[in-house]
Amino acid sequence: MVSLSDGEWKIMNLLWEHESTITELKNVLGKETGWDKHIVITMLSRMEKKGAVAHREGGRAKIFYPLVTREEVSMQETKGFLQKVYRGSLGMMVNAMVEDQALSEEEIQELYGILERAKRNRTEQSEHEK
């Protein structure tokens, strides 16, 4: 499982769009963050050690690409957040969002869909266990 810092998320968001060289990443991120080439290199090295990205030789420059999907990392980050903040209580989190009126109609429908899928999965699982 890969956990990303805020800075690593910035790099991953670019790599999920398209594979990039260090120079390409520096040019985009430098405008937004002020990072220079050395910071980008350090972060990419750390991310390679974590198993988040890899590179291949591409002529004159290494080309970096993601090894994990946005969905995989997002799911892990969400689970980690819930465990830290809500101690795993999904009900507490959803209740806080309801009280804050932070859920749109679309998000409410999405939650209904997720709960229906969970119910089907649980039913299928209990039928297999019989």
Q: What is the pLDDT of residues 49-70, one digit of tens each?
A: 999 999 999 888 999 999 999 9
Q: Taking the model in full, what pTM does it have?
A: 0.68
> Could you tell me if 20 and 56 lie in one domain?
yes
- If pLDDT is split at 50, 70 and 90, which confidence band does 91 have? confident
> Could you tell me if 59 and 96 lie in one domain?
no
> Could you tell me if 64 and 121 lie in one domain?
no
**Residue-level pLDDT at 23:** 95
Looking at the structure of the chain, the number of domains it has is 2
User: At residue 85, does pLDDT exceed 80?
Assistant: no
> Could you tell me if 23 and 64 lie in one domain?
yes
**Residue-level pLDDT at 98:** 82
> Could you tell me if 23 and 73 lie in one domain?
yes
> Could you tell me if 32 and 77 lie in one domain?
yes
**Residue-level pLDDT at 100:** 81
How far apart, in whole angstroms, are the C-alpha atoms of residue 73 and residue 20?
19
Q: What percent of the chain has pLDDT over 70?
A: 96
> Could you tell me if 94 and 41 lie in one domain?
no
> Could you tell me if 59 and 76 lie in one domain?
yes
**Residue-level pLDDT at 130:** 64
> Could you tell me if 46 and 10 lie in one domain?
yes
For residues 89, 92, 93, 98, the Cα torsion angle rounded to the nearest 10 degrees is 150
Residue 63 pairs in a beta bridge with: 56
* Domain coverage including residue 105: 89-130
